[in-house]
Every structure is written in structure tokens, then in C-alpha cells.
């Protein structure tokens, strides 16, 4: 069995060694008759969104040999893609045929960056920000107002940027146009801008704080020309806006001279409603309304008899046959002497009061003597005016018993203003000039008419039908209107009691300003005591507690008290100058003026005038207080001694220390009365407080005479101070060289 198997393997081996080589040779010989073809898949075009990780789906290479086709195996793949996954991919196959020749083919897969549509972008929404300068950086804005967001395929590579254009409407309203751009770098085409997406976001910056507007509910003005009146008012002023700048203000008045913040103009008689409109924020408005009321103040002009004298008729009131009273009746129209209505509002009515039915008045024994009556004139429009008639009632032929004039208490004249001018010590100031003056000037219109006759060509058709011409006389009336500006003003001087009375004031329904002025001998009331007091104030030794003293100490009127004032006052007291500088010798101030602190008198304008809205029948007195510049020591009770540092209080007493001469030149002598033997200290200061001399002297009990001669460098005002034990004594002296 083993022998048979062995023989079989030998047989097979010999067959292989002999048959196979011959077969191989036969094959090579016959291969030239069978073609060999390498078949490559076609090139393809895909998108970056397509499948790029399994390329076999785009085909594989094969080769054909004879009648059979075989797989070419795995290719060599090369990727040529950019950051957007766009470009191309090559797949290369290499196959060796049976003649030991290599065959190569390559498939190119072209990958485009264009995905399915563009990115889906959510752009920032418009936003309104409040304030003056809010932070508009996108980092400080909440979503969805800050940045654009998007969703895109893997083929996209997106980036964002923005630019701002700011448009300022006003300080309260700004508009930012923020242009956002999103660039798809993978799809960007520079030639046509494809791949750039743009959107404009609007950012409103608005200050919505409304302005504070205050308007009077009504403005009343009088018309004196029977038609209209000129209204002059101050412009509507508003506080500056929170964000700076001014508000835009308009008015809708058809009669204003301008349509801005001033409604001044010429308004007709009647009521005109005017509305101010203030713009703020972005187009918002706030309004306030004013009624401009023009009253027809063209009152009738009354002309009446100045005086009339009449006698009582006897009456027997108890029918006992004896005259016991008397009576006379007067009619208001009988007192008229040509009253007229300037506006032609006739007919006129006459009465003894505003009541037009009081047309007559009865006088009896109670009216014996002079009686002041009013004759009122009322026109057809209800405008009224009056004049005063002095009616004297006499008891003549009637011989009425016990019918005599009665004493009448003095009264202030109608429409008058009174007051007093007193000094700080309540001393009357005689001869002060008080002026009452109309605050705003009055405009008076004068209207005249000229009548002229001219010849005018006229035509008419006669009965025969012919047109004829003729000249006719025509009257032409021309109106001329002139206006004058007048300011009512009256002045009067105070009497020996410091009183004044301005009576029978015209234009009593107008605002009036009361002021005063006064001058006298320049040196009256001013002496060395005032210089000394001012010096002590500057050295801090005394304190002024009254604003009067602050005002009197400001010699040069610069609203400060310093050495300049001291030098000026010293030069005036010593005779180096004859007048004090500035505009005032005396200040006449409203007595009602009050200051929280006396030095506040320098912080506001002086109350040199008092304004009255109108002159009433009975007015409160307007009093002035008179302060003379330089007269600082007039009210010593208003001064307070103050402690200076830790020194004892400084006092003066001529019984202890006397100095002479004053003024001095080269030598100064002190007489000092000492209660015991001790050493005294003399100090001399200049007006600035600089110490010039400090010298000790031995003093004996009793009277001591000290001569000081080291005075070569001293001039002007000086202050001396003696320290005697625990007490100090000071004074002021003048050195003349």
C-alpha cells in the first residue's frame, strides 16, 4: 500500500515539472491574441455636503482580459481640498498585465463649496435705548439685539462685522444705523459680491424725560385804540435739557411776531388761546396753554365841572311850621361838561357811582360844606371812567337851624402812596427824594384823518343809449396813526418827620416802582471812631452783627471789606480826600429787607426799589431805611466783643491810658495810670496787623508818662495796645508825615 502511494506522488510531480512549463510557455505565446483593458470610473462633480468618506460609491476601476472582467483593486486616494472642503479628490489605480506592463488610470472627484442654499441668519432686532449716552457696544446689549446668529452647512465658513452711522436729530434724540455684514468665505465671489449678506439694525437713543413747563393761565393787557393791544412778554424759558442743549419751542399764535418761544405781538380785543409746544425726545411734545385777554380799556373821557355851589331848600319834616332841615337834589348829567367816548361807543350814561342807576344824589344838612363826589361816565360797551367834582352845600336863605359844617378827619387822598425814611437810629431823614415811576412805559396812540377831494372820470348811459363821460368829485379819507411812549413819574421830598405822600397818582392800575435818594454834607456822621471800628473788625477784635455795618464798611463798593476800604476811609477822615468813591453816599433800602447772615448783603442786589403791582385806594406804607457809607459806628449796641485767640478781652479807658497828640509826627506820649509797680508791654501795629514795635516799660504806682520816639518807619493809621497785668488797653492813632 505504501509503495502504491509513493508511486502516485512521483507521477504527479513529474507531470507538474513537464506539463506546467509547457503550458506557461504556451500561454505567453498566445497572450498577444487576448486584449487587456483597464476601465476607470468617470469623473464626477459633487458638493461638499455629499458623502466624501466612502468614495467607492462613485465607482471602482476594473480591467478586462479576454472575455472576463476583474476588479482593479483599491486605488491610491489623494485629497486636494481647502478649508471649505472644496477642491478635488483623485483616485488612481495601477494594474500589471501578463506581459509585466503597468496600466494606470485616475478618477477625479470635483468637490464644490456650494451647499443647498445660503445660511439661515437671525439678525439683531431694532432696539430703543434711554439716556443721554448709553453704551451701544454689542457686548453690552442683550440678545436678540446684540449679534447675528445663524445655522449653516459644513460647506460654510461664516464671519461677522458691523459699522455704525450716527444721525443726531437733537441732544435728546439720536439714531444709529448699524450695518451688519456676514461673509460666507466658502461661497464668496469678489466679482459680484456673492457670499456677503447685509442687514441694517436701527438703534434709537432717546431721552424721554419731559421738560418742566410753567405757563401763566392768563395774560391780560389793555387796549387803548379801540381795536388791539401790543403784548410784550418775556420768552418762555426752560431749564437746559438733561442731555444738554436747548429744547425746541413753538407757539401757534396767529398774532405773535415770531413762532418760537415768545408770543409777543399785536392781539385784537377779546380772548386768544395760545399754545406753546415743546419738542423733546424723538418727536414727542409737551404743551401748555395761555389765554391772552385784551380788554377794551378805551374808557370814555370824562369832562366835568370842577366846582359847583348850591344852597339847601328849607324843609319842615315834622309839619310843625318850623324849618328843621334842608334838601337839594343834583343830577349827575348836570355835572357833565362834554364827556366823550374815544371809540364812539355812544350814548353815554352819567351816574354818581359805578351803579349806572344812581343818576341823582340828595344833599341835606349832613352835607353842609365841601363834598367831593364822583361823576361816572359809562359808554354803550360798559366801559367806565369818572372825574371828581367839588360840591359845596350852603345854608343861605333857608336859615336852617343847627345846619353847620361838621369837622372831617383827614384822610389820605385817593390813589396815593405814603411812607417814611428813617436812619438806623429811627431819626427822620428830611429832604430825601422819593420817586414813584411807572415800571413799564405806556403806548399812547393818536389817530387823525385827512380828507381830500379828487376828480374822477365817470361814465353813464343816457336815455338814448349813448355812453357819456363826466368828472365827479370824490372824497378820499386817509387815516394817520401815530404812537408815543410815555412813562409816568413823580418825585417828592420827605418832610421834617421823614414822611412823604404822593397823592392823586395817575395810571394807578399800572405797576409802579418806588425808590429814593439822599445826599448831605459828606463828612457828617463820619469820624475817627468809624476808622477805628473798621480796623478792629479787620483785626478780628469785633464782629458786625448787622448788615447795615457791612454795607457802610464797603467804601469802594466792591462787595468786600478789606484794607482797601480802611485806607480809603482813613484818607477821607484825615482830609487827604474830600469824597468817598462809588455811586452812593447814602443807601435808601427797603426797610423790609431781611438777611439770614449780615454778610449776605453782598450776595444779592441791594433792595433799592420797591415794586407795586398797582396803586390801590389805600396802600401799605413803603418805608426806607437810610444808611450812610462810612458811618459804621452809628449803632454801637449792635457790636459784639470777641475773644481773640487766648488773650484777655481788650478794653479802653481814658482813665487808664491816654495817648497824644493825635495825629502825631515824630513823638508819641502815653499817660498811664497804674495801680501798682510792675512792667507794662507796649505793642504798635500798622493797619495790616503787622507788629511794628514791642517794648517793655517799668511802671510805678500812680501816673506814668511814657515817651516813644522810635517812630521813623511809621505812617498812616496805627493801633496801639498796652498790656498791664491781666488787662489790655488799645486804641488807634494817625501818623502824618
Is residue 14 over pLDDT 50? Answer: no
Cis ω on the peptide bond leading into residue 663 (within 30° of 0)?
yes
> Could you tell me if 352 and 361 are in contact, meaning their C-beta atoms sit under 8 angstroms apart?
yes
Model confidence band, residue 414 (pLDDT cutoffs 50, 70, 90): low
Q: Which residues contact 394 (CB under 8 A, 6 or more apart)?
A: 309, 310, 311, 312, 368
With DSSP H G I counted as helix, E B as strand and the rest as coil, what are the percentages for the chain, rounded to 5? 10, 45, 45
Q: Using the structure block, give the residue that is written with the C-alpha cell 331848600.
A: 313
pLDDT at 728: 81
**Strand, coil or helix: 311:** strand
Q: What is the pLDDT of residues 291-335, one digit of tens each?
A: 999 888 778 888 888 888 888 888 877 777 777 788 888 999 999
Q: Which residue has the higher pLDDT, 442 or 360?
A: 360
pLDDT at 23: 42
Question: Residue 615, class by beta-carbon neighbours within 10 Å (0-12 exposed, 13-18 middle, 19+ buried)?
Answer: buried
Give the span between the Cα atoms of 494 and 500, in whole angstroms: 5
pLDDT at 610: 92
pLDDT at 463: 64
* Fold adopted by 218-296: Immunoglobulin-like (2.60.40)
Q: What is the DSSP letter of 400?
A: -
pLDDT at 480: 61
> Could you tell me if 536 and 733 are in contact, meaning their C-beta atoms sit under 8 angstroms apart?
no
- For residue 284, give Cα distances in angstroms to 202, 289, 427, 582: 19, 17, 63, 53
- Do 34-112 and 413-441+487-640 share a fold? yes
Give the span between the Cα atoms of 240 and 280, in whole angstroms: 11
Is residue 35 over pLDDT 90? Answer: no
Q: What is the pLDDT of residues 154-179, one digit of tens each?
A: 677 788 899 999 888 877 788 899 99
User: b/e for 305-341, b at 16 or more Cβ within 10 A?
Assistant: eeebeeebebeeeeeeeebebbbbebebeebbeebeb
Q: What is the pLDDT of residues 67-115, one digit of tens each?
A: 888 898 899 999 888 777 778 899 999 998 888 899 999 999 988 776 5
HEC letters along 478-525: EEEEEEEEECCEEEEECCCCCEEEECCCCCCCCCEEEEEECCCCCCCC
Of the candidates 584, 586, 592, 587, the residue with the CA atom closest to the CA atom of residue 622: 592
Is residue 570 over pLDDT 60? Answer: yes
> Could you tell me if 621 and 587 are in contact, meaning their C-beta atoms sit under 8 angstroms apart?
no
Of the candidates 114, 120, 112, the residue with the CA atom closest to the CA atom of residue 194: 114
Question: Domain 413-441+487-640, what architecture?
Answer: Sandwich (2.60)
Asked which of 71-85, 208-222, 436-450 is least confident by mean pLDDT, the reply is 436-450
- For residue 236, give Cα distances in angstroms to 231, 247, 254, 555: 14, 11, 17, 40
Model confidence band, residue 644 (pLDDT cutoffs 50, 70, 90): very low
pLDDT at 404: 76
Helices and strands of the chain, counted as H and E runs: 4, 46
> What residue ranges do the domains of the chain occupy?
2-31, 34-112, 120-206, 218-296, 309-338+346-394, 413-441+487-640, 643-735
pLDDT at 729: 83
Long-range contacts of 98-103 (CB under 8 A, 24+ apart): 98/27, 98/28, 98/31, 98/36, 98/65, 99/31, 99/36, 103/36, 103/38, 103/63
Is residue 45 over pLDDT 80? Answer: yes
> Could you tell me if 434 and 505 are in contact, meaning their C-beta atoms sit under 8 angstroms apart?
no
The dihedral built from the CA positions of residue 130, 136, 141 and 144, taken in this order, carries a sign that is positive
Is residue 19 over pLDDT 70? Answer: no
- Nearest 5 degrees, angle CA 247-CA 253-CA 255? 130
Q: Which residue has the higher pLDDT, 393 or 663?
A: 393
Give the span between the Cα atoms of 601 and 559, in whole angstroms: 8
Give the span between the Cα atoms of 327 and 393, in whole angstroms: 10
Question: Domain 643-735, what architecture?
Answer: Sandwich (2.60)
pLDDT at 473: 67
| Phi-psi category of residue 344: left, alpha or beta, with phi > 0 → left and psi -120 to 50 → alpha | left
Average pLDDT of 175-185?
89
**Strand, coil or helix: 601:** helix
Residue 573 CB coordination number (10 Å): 20
Of the candidates 263, 260, 233, 234, the residue with the CA atom closest to the CA atom of residue 247: 260
- For residue 234, give Cα distances in angstroms to 54, 199, 294, 708: 89, 50, 17, 68
> Do strands 218-223 and 284-296 pair parallel, antiparallel, or not at all (unpaired)?
parallel
Give the span between the Cα atoms of 89 and 112, in whole angstroms: 11
pLDDT at 277: 93
Of the candidates 634, 632, 728, 639, the residue with the CA atom closest to the CA atom of residue 685: 728
Cis ω on the peptide bond leading into residue 661 (within 30° of 0)?
yes
CATH top-level class of 120-206: mainly beta
Model confidence band, residue 737 (pLDDT cutoffs 50, 70, 90): low
pLDDT at 421: 93
| Phi-psi category of residue 172: left, alpha or beta, with phi > 0 → left and psi -120 to 50 → alpha | alpha
Of the candidates 628, 620, 638, 636, the residue with the CA atom closest to the CA atom of residue 420: 620
Average pLDDT of 590-612?
89
Model confidence band, residue 506 (pLDDT cutoffs 50, 70, 90): low
Residue 197 CB coordination number (10 Å): 17
Model confidence band, residue 283 (pLDDT cutoffs 50, 70, 90): confident
Average pLDDT of 686-699?
79
Average pLDDT score, the chain? 81
pLDDT at 383: 84
pLDDT at 627: 92
Cell numbers at residue 664, please?
Answer: 502825631
> Could you tell me if 52 and 85 are in contact, meaning their C-beta atoms sit under 8 angstroms apart?
yes
Give the span between the Cα atoms of 386 and 375, in whole angstroms: 5
Model confidence band, residue 651 (pLDDT cutoffs 50, 70, 90): very low
Strand partners, 676: none
Query: What's the length of the chain?
Result: 737
Long-range contacts of 195-200 (CB under 8 A, 24+ apart): 197/118, 197/119, 197/121, 199/121, 199/123, 199/124, 199/148
Q: Using the structure block, give the residue that is written with the C-alpha cell 380828507.
A: 451
> Could you tell me if 93 and 28 are in contact, meaning their C-beta atoms sit under 8 angstroms apart?
no
Cell numbers at residue 506, please?
Answer: 395817575
* Fold adopted by 34-112: Immunoglobulin-like (2.60.40)
Q: Which residue has the higher pLDDT, 130 or 405?
A: 130
Of the candidates 614, 553, 622, 620, the residue with the CA atom closest to the CA atom of residue 591: 622
Is residue 468 over pLDDT 90? Answer: no
> Do strands 102-112 and 44-47 pair parallel, antiparallel, or not at all (unpaired)?
parallel
Cell numbers at residue 269, please?
Answer: 380785543
> Do strands 36-39 and 62-65 pair parallel, antiparallel, or not at all (unpaired)?
antiparallel
Amino acid at each position: 500500500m505504501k509503495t502504491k502511494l509513493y508511486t502516485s506522488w512521483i507521477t504527479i510531480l513529474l507531470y507538474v515539472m513537464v506539463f506546467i512549463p509547457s503550458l506557461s510557455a504556451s500561454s505567453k505565446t498566445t497572450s498577444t491574441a487576448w486584449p487587456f483593458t483597464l476601465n476607470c470610473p468617470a469623473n464626477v462633480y459633487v458638493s461638499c455636503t455629499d458623502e466624501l468618506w466612502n468614495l467607492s460609491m462613485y465607482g471602482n476601476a476594473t480591467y478586462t482580459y479576454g472575455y472576463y472582467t476583474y476588479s482593479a483593486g483599491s486605488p491610491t486616494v489623494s485629497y486636494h481640498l481647502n478649508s471649505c472642503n472644496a477642491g478635488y479628490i483623485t483616485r488612481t489605480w495601477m494594474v500589471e498585465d501578463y506581459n509585466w506592463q503597468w496600466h494606470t488610470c485616475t478618477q477625479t472627484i470635483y468637490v464644490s463649496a456650494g451647499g443647498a442654499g445660503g445660511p439661515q441668519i437671525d439678525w439683531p432686532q431694532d432696539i430703543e435705548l434711554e439716556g443721554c449716552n448709553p453704551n451701544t457696544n454689542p457686548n453690552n446689549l442683550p440678545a436678540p439685539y446684540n449679534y447675528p446668529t445663524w445655522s449653516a452647512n459644513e460647506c460654510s465658513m461664516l464671519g461677522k462685522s458691523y459699522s455704525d452711522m450716527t444721525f443726531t436729530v437733537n441732544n435728546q434724540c439720536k439714531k444709529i444705523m448699524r450695518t451688519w455684514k456676514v461673509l460666507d468665505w466658502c461661497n464668496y465671489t469678489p466679482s459680484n459680491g456673492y457670499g456677503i449678506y447685509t442687514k441694517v439694525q436701527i438703534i434709537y437713543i432717546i431721552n424721554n424725560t419731559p421738560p418742566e413747563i410753567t405757563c401763566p393761565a392768563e395774560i391780560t393787557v389793555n387796549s387803548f385804540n379801540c381795536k388791539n393791544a401790543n403784548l410784550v412778554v418775556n420768552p418762555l424759558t426752560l431749564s437746559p435739557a438733561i442731555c444738554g442743549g436747548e429744547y425746541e419751542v413753538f407757539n401757534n399764535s396767529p398774532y405773535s411776531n415770531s413762532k418760537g418761544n415768545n408770543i409777543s405781538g399785536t392781539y385784537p380785543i377779546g380772548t386768544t388761546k395760545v399754545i406753546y409746544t415743546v419738542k423733546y425726545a424723538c418727536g414727542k411734545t409737551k404743551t401748555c396753554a395761555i389765554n391772552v385777554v385784551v380788554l377794551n380799556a378805551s374808557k370814555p373821557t370824562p369832562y366835568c365841572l370842577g366846582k359847583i355851589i348850591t344852597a339847601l331848600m328849607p324843609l319842615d319834616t315834622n309839619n310843625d311850621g318850623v324849618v328843621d332841615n334842608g334838601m337839594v337834589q343834583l343830577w349827575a348829567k348836570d355835572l357833565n361838561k362834554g364827556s366823550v367816548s374815544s371809540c364812539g361807543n355812544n350814548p353815554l350814561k352819567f351816574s354818581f357811582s359805578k351803579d349806572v342807576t344812581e343818576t341823582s344824589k340828595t344833599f341835606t344838612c349832613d352835607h353842609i360844606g365841601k363834598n367831593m363826589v364822583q361823576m361816572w361816565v359809562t359808554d354803550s360797551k360798559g366801559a367806565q371812567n369818572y372825574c371828581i367834582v367839588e360840591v359845596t352845600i350852603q345854608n343861605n336863605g333857608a336859615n336852617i337851624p343847627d345846619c353847620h359844617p361838621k369837622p372831617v378827619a383827614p384822610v389820605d387822598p385817593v390813589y396815593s402812596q405814603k411812607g417814611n425814611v428813617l436812619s438806623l437810629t429811627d431819626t427822620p431823614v428830611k429832604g430825601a427824594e422819593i420817586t414813584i415811576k411807572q415800571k413799564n412805559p405806556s403806548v399812547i396812540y393818536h389817530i387823525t384823518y385827512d380828507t381830500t377831494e379828487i376828480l374822477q372820470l365817470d361814465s353813464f348811459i343816457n336815455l338814448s343809449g349813448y355812453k357819456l363821460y363826466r368828472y365827479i368829485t370824490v372824497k378820499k379819507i386817509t387815516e394817520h396813526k401815530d404812537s408815543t411812549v410815555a412813562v409816568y413819574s413823580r418825585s417828592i421830598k420827605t418832610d421834617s418827620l421823614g414822611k412823604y405822600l404822593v397823592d392823586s397818582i395817575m395810571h394807578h392800575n399800572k405797576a409802579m416802582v418806588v425808590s429814593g435818594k439822599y445826599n448831605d454834607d459828606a463828612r457828617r456822621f463820619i469820624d475817627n471812631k468809624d476808622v477805628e471800628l473798621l480796623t478792629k473788625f479787620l483785626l478780628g477784635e469785633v464782629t458786625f452783627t448787622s448788615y447795615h455795618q457791612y454795607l457802610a464798611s464797603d467804601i469802594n463798593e466792591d462787595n468786600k471789606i478789606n484794607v482797601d476800604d480802611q485806607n480809603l476811609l482813613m484818607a477821607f477822615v484825615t482830609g487827604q480826600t474830600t469824597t468817598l468813591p462809588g455811586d452812593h453816599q447814602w443807601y435808601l433800602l427797603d426797610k423790609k429787607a431781611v438777611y439770614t447772615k449780615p454778610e449776605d448783603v453782598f450776595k444779592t442786589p441791594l433792595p433799592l426799589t420797591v415794586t407795586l403791582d398797582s396803586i390801590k385806594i389805600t396802600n401799605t406804607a413803603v418805608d426806607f431805611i437810610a444808611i450812610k457809607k462810612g458811618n459804621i459806628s452809628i449803632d454801637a449796641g449792635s457790636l459784639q466783643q470777641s475773644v481773640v485767640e487766648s488773650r484777655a478781652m481788650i478794653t479802653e479807658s481814658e482813665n487808664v491810658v491816654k495817648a497824644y497828640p493825635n495825629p502825631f509826627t515824630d513823638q508819641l506820649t502815653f499817660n498811664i495810670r497804674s495801680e501798682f509797680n510792675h512792667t507794662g508791654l507796649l505793642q504798635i501795629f500798622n493797619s495790616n496787623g503787622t507788629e511794628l514795635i514791642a517794648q517793655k516799660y517799668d511802671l510805678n504806682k500812680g501816673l506814668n508818662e511814657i515817651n516813644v520816639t522810635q517812630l521813623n518807619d511809621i505812617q498812616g493809621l496805627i493801633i496801639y495796645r498796652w498790656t498791664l497785668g491781666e488787662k489790655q488797653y488799645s486804641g488807634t492813632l494817625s501818623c502824618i508825615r
